[in-house]
Amino acid sequence: MPSFDIASKVDLQTLDNAINTVKKEIQNRFDFKDSHVSIELNKKDYIVMVEVESDMKMKQVLDVIISRSMKQGIDAAAFDFSKDAYPSGKVVKKEISVKNGLKQEDAKKIVKAIKDAGLKVQPAIMDNIIRVTGKKIDDLQEVIALCKSGNFGLPLQFENMKS
């Protein structure tokens, strides 16, 4: 039976490349000359730590992070900007967590959306992926289209397609 997996992963090397590109661009920009900017990636916890002088510069750094990450192939929805920036002495700090892997509640939302669509497929949650099986590949392609059009707030990858 044809099947495929729905996953939400961020490649660590791609993320590292994107953050290094951001650091180089910020270093070369005139508006950041002689100002304190620190961007660090915690590879273990998938957290980007940003430290700048003002809120305006924080917004500019976040824009650069999004644009450079998208050029590297990382979806902007992979970043969780929900935590507010907080002042710490003369600098403003912000922790940006990177969503990696499907959480249980997100997987349940996706499975519910697939079942509500009435397609003849069987979604099953397996750890941090969702395996979808069906009798026809066309049904699986409809599920992929449904997931792409649905706004689940996270980047989805469709992999391991078997017929």
Give the model's pLDDT for residue 32: 86
Q: Name the strand (E) or helix (H) holding 144.
A: helix 137-149
Please state, in angstroms and rounded to a whole number, the distance separating the CA atoms of residues 93 and 97: 13
In the numeric block, the tokens 């999004």 are attached to 66
What CATH number labels 12-98?
A: 3.30.70.990
What would the pLDDT profile of 113-159 be if each residue is shown by its tens digit? Answer: 999 988 899 999 998 899 999 999 999 999 999 998 888 888 888 98
Give the model's pLDDT for residue 13: 94
What CATH number labels 3-8+101-162?
A: 3.30.70.860
What would the pLDDT profile of 77-123 be if each residue is shown by its tens digit? Answer: 899 988 888 888 889 999 999 988 888 998 999 999 999 988 899 99
